[in-house]
Amino acid sequence: MTESPAVFGKSPVKPRRARRGVAVAVVFSLLAFAVAAGAGFLSWRTFETVDGLGPLPLVTAVPSREAATRPRPLDPVRYPVSYAKEPLRLDLACAAVIHLDLDEPRADVAESLADLRYESRCGAEPPKLSLGAGAAAGSRQVSADSDAAGCDRAIRTGPLGRGLQIEVKSGSALCVLTAATPAELVLVEVIDVGGSGTAGLRATSWQVPK
């Protein structure tokens, strides 16, 4: 029997494109490794540099000379109210005098204790008000709606002279600083003026802080 010769097939040839792809992948892997190594080296050098410098100094804000020398605004002065809108009704004969104590308030007190002196007049002449022996100062440069700060300012900038008389007119007002301890700032309002020297007054008082 004659044997048939063996047939040997040729092995398939790999395409060049596959080999080229493998080479490119290897190159990219090497590049990535090199980049990672370089980044690690730079991080290590940066750490050594910062560690050698030590901790950074703290920066403290220093106020400027202008801010240090600028005066601080003063807090407003507080005046506690002693009494408010207290009526004082004065009924006098013609050409009579009555003295008022504004610390309480009270009418018809001794002259040595009086903060105000009220003098009625006869006929059409209006009655007069003046500071009494118990008043430290006063001012007529105020209105009926003035507050304690307004009274204090008026007494400092427009004081009423001792012995000077003020005509009592409806709607007018004056401020009085008493000489008591503690002192009182008193706003006296003239509510109405009648005949024969009668008048209606109203007083509001504030304690002067020490």
pLDDT in tens, 195-208: 777 899 999 999 99
Note the pTM of the prediction, 2 decimals. Answer: 0.64
DSSP classification of residue 53: H
Strands 166-167 and 128-131: antiparallel
DSSP classification of residue 55: S
Predicted confidence band at 7 (pLDDT cuts at 50, 70, 90)? very low
pLDDT in tens, 90-127: 998 888 999 999 999 999 999 999 999 999 988 888 89
Predicted confidence band at 3 (pLDDT cuts at 50, 70, 90)? very low
Ranges 55-59, 81-85, 124-128, 189-193: which has the least confidence = 55-59
pLDDT in tens, 37-74: 555 555 655 545 545 555 555 555 555 565 556 655 45
d(CA 203, CA 116): 12
Q: What Cα–Cα distance (Å) separates residue 36 from each residue in 25, 47, 48, 63, 94?
A: 17, 17, 19, 49, 114
Which residue bears the tokens 């050098």? 45
Predicted confidence band at 11 (pLDDT cuts at 50, 70, 90)? very low
Please give the share of the chain, as a percent, with pLDDT higher than 70.
Answer: 64
d(CA 197, CA 168): 10
Predicted confidence band at 13 (pLDDT cuts at 50, 70, 90)? very low
